[in-house]
């Protein structure tokens, strides 16, 4: 059993994170946006706090938070520019958890410590052109050659690729058959010959968080690069890591929605129209009420989903339901926040304008809202048919 973090220790971590977010990062949000970059001193601060490895077990150098603790932290991190969270999101989440859950002891010993301390940024390379919502259709291939593997293919939209030291690469070793999807997962150092990282994508929002294409041109790795030492765990590793990640993304959405609500209340209680505070208009109060209701419902759902995950009661439906509800909710709350701000809400430099663009991504990555509905619905029907 991994070492768990006591409530008392966790409260300290949470308080420190909240303090960091509110006093050090929020005042620099505009700088992050303008420069499309999280400043180095904030990165170093986050590194010292252990944020690159908060969800990595302590035996491998991380803070060792479990998922219920992870979501509490995520709700704090979601309160500011989402670029901060993205900087260490792949280490703790989709990429790091593949190694934690499926790596051999040797692979964990080699990579988890540098990942946990932030010396190495790990990226999760699953999506390809034509294989996003349906990763089982991926075409990147890995072929055995003299005890090595040779990987070739194209990945796209890979978070943190421009700064990655390690790619967790999903590749096909054979066509899907009765044994499984035929997808394996490999550890590929970013400096391996044949790894070609494209230019940074120009995105709608989340300035400071970077993605790009990554091409693997006959990249040769040794047998020890095959995660878990088995060709057959890639697809399961991807699905498990994504399901866990969905609870985390749902919590991020709640944190951002809370910020949009707080900005809305602050505006409604200071801005006037014809001498009347806009917060005194009942139609504005109704918008605030809808925002608050969404945030409260989302927070309760996220906490429940995290609890069901660690108890093992539900690792499929609840993560997707939480991501679906919370990311859609954050979109609505952000939209209402712009509405409450009137024309000011449409202006660059106003936090809710940034939030409106930033949260749009949450409904797309780690499974679109449509895919979450399919997962929830199909699992309900399958369970009833059993």
Q: Contact positions toward ligand FAD, by CB under 6 A?
A: 123-127, 132-134, 157-159, 203, 211, 361, 364-368, 370-371, 374
Cα torsion through 199, 201, 207, 208, rounded to 10:
-30
Least CB distance from residue 151 to ligand FAD, whole Å? 15
17 versus 123: smaller Cβ distance to ligand FAD: 123
Reduced DSSP (H G I as helix, E B as strand, rest coil) percent helix, strand, coil of the chain, to 5: 60, 15, 25
Residues with Cβ within 8 Å of residue 19, at least 6 apart in sequence: none
53 versus 279: smaller Cβ distance to ligand FAD: 53
Q: Closest CB to ligand FAD belongs to which residue?
A: 132
Q: What are phi and psi of 203, to 5 degrees?
A: -100, 165
Pairing status of strand 122-125 against strand 195-197: unpaired
Least CB distance from residue 122 to ligand FAD, whole Å? 10
Active site residue 366: yes
Least CB distance from residue 331 to ligand FAD, whole Å? 14
Catalytic member of 113, 353, 366, 370: 366
136 versus 271: smaller Cβ distance to ligand FAD: 136
Pairing status of strand 183-189 against strand 166-172: antiparallel
* Spatial distance between the Cα atoms of 204 and 322, rounded to a whole number of angstroms: 24
Least CB distance from residue 135 to ligand FAD, whole Å? 8
Picking from 114, 104, 174, 113, the residue whose alpha carbon sits closest to that of residue 138 is 174
203 versus 307: smaller Cβ distance to ligand FAD: 203
* Spatial distance between the Cα atoms of 204 and 354, rounded to a whole number of angstroms: 10
* Structure token pair of residue 62: 């991380």
Least CB distance from residue 132 to ligand FAD, whole Å? 2
20 versus 235: smaller Cβ distance to ligand FAD: 235
* Spatial distance between the Cα atoms of 342 and 274, rounded to a whole number of angstroms: 14
Residues with Cβ within 8 Å of residue 31, at least 6 apart in sequence: 39
- For 353-382, give one letter per residue: b (16+ CB within 10 A) or e: bbbbebbbbbbebbbbbebbeebbeeeeee
Least CB distance from residue 341 to ligand FAD, whole Å? 25
108 versus 246: smaller Cβ distance to ligand FAD: 246
* Distance between start and end Cα atoms, the chain: 32
Supply the residues annotated as catalytic.
366
């Amino acid at each position: 059993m991994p070492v768990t973090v006591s409530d008392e220790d966790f409260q300290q971590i949470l308080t420190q994170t909240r303090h960091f977010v509110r006093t050090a990062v929020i005042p620099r949000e505009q700088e992050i946006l303008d420069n499309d970059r999280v400043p180095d001193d904030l990165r170093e601060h986050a590194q010292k706090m252990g944020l690159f490895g908060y969800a990595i077990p302590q035996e491998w150098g991380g803070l060792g938070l479990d998922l219920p603790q992870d979501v509490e932290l995520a709700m704090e991190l979601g309160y500011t520019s989402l670029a901060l969270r993205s900087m260490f999101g792949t280490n703790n989440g989709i990429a790091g958890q593949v190694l934690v859950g499926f790596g051999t002891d040797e692979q964990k010993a080699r990579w988890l410590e540098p990942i946990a301390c932030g010396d190495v940024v790990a990226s999760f390379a699953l999506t390809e052109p034509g294989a996003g919502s349906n990763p089982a259709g991926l075409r990147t291939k890995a072929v055995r050659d003299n005890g090595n593997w040779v990987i070739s293919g194209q990945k796209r939209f890979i978070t943190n690729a421009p700064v990655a030291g390690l790619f967790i690469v999903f590749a096909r070793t054979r066509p899907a058959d009765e044994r499984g999807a035929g997808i394996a997962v490999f550890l590929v150092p970013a400096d391996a010959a044949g790894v070609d990282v494209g230019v940074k994508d120009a995105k709608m929002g989340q300035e400071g968080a970077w993605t790009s294409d990554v091409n693997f041109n006959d990249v040769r790795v040794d047998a020890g690069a095959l995660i878990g030492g088995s060709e057959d765990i890639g697809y399961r590793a991807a699905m498990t890591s994504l399901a866990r990640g969905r609870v985390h993304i749902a919590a991020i959405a709640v944190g951002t929605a809370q910020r949009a609500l707080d900005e809305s209340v602050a505006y409604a209680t200071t801005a006037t129209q014809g001498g009347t505070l806009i917060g005194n208009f009942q139609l504005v109060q109704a918008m605030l009420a809808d925002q608050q209701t969404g945030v409260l419902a989302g927070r309760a759902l996220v906490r429940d989903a995290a609890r069901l995950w660690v108890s093992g009661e539900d690792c499929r439906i609840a993560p997707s339901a939480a991501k679906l509800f919370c990311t859609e909710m954050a979109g609505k709350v952000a939209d209402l926040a712009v509405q409450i701000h009137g024309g000011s809400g449409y202006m660059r430099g106003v936090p809710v304008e940034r939030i409106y663009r930033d949260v749009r991504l949450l409904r797309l990555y780690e499974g679109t809202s449509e895919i979450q509905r399919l997962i929830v619905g199909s699992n309900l029907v399958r369970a009833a048919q059993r």
